[in-house]
Amino acid sequence: MANIEISILGQQYKIACPDGEEQTLQDTVEQFNNKLKTIKLNSRTLRNEQLIVMAALNFCHELNIEKSKNEKHAEQLNERIKNLQNSIESVLQPINK
């Protein structure tokens, strides 16, 4: 387990993360800080806590949209697989005369 320092809104945090995941965590922190900056630029004056709540809500909303898209894609793939299986089975059925 690695310990790394991150900064969110100028506040330093020391966080443990699995070995080899340090860069992924740093990238995530950068993405989060960018979201906070965007919200801060597009909103009235908000306290840091409010910015963090807004960013969290935005990320949750985006995640829910992606989950919905993935569910629709999975349903479409399952339907296509079912149709392919039916086609294959109908071709492999012995011809009864």
Q: What is the pLDDT of residues 14-31, one digit of tens each?
A: 999 999 999 999 999 999
Please give the Cα distance from 5 to 81 (Å, whole number).
Answer: 47
pLDDT at site 6: 96
Please give the Cα distance from 50 to 46 (Å, whole number).
Answer: 6
51-89: per-residue pLDDT in tens?
999 999 999 999 999 999 999 999 999 999 999 999 999
- Mean pLDDT within 37-58: 91
pLDDT at site 25: 95
CATH of the domain at 23: 3.30.160.880
Q: Which domain holds residue 50?
A: 2-92
**Alpha helices in the chain, H assignment, sequence order:** 22-42, 48-92
Q: Rounded to whole angstroms, what are the CA distances from 5 to 32, 64, 69?
A: 15, 29, 35
pLDDT at site 96: 58
Instruction: Look at the pTM and tell me if it is higher than 0.85.
Output: no
Give the total number of structural domains in the chain.
1
Q: Rounded to whole angstroms, what are the CA distances from 30 to 22, 44, 67?
A: 12, 22, 23
- In a domain? residue 35: yes
Give yes or no for residue 97 having a pLDDT over 60.
Answer: no
- In a domain? residue 97: no
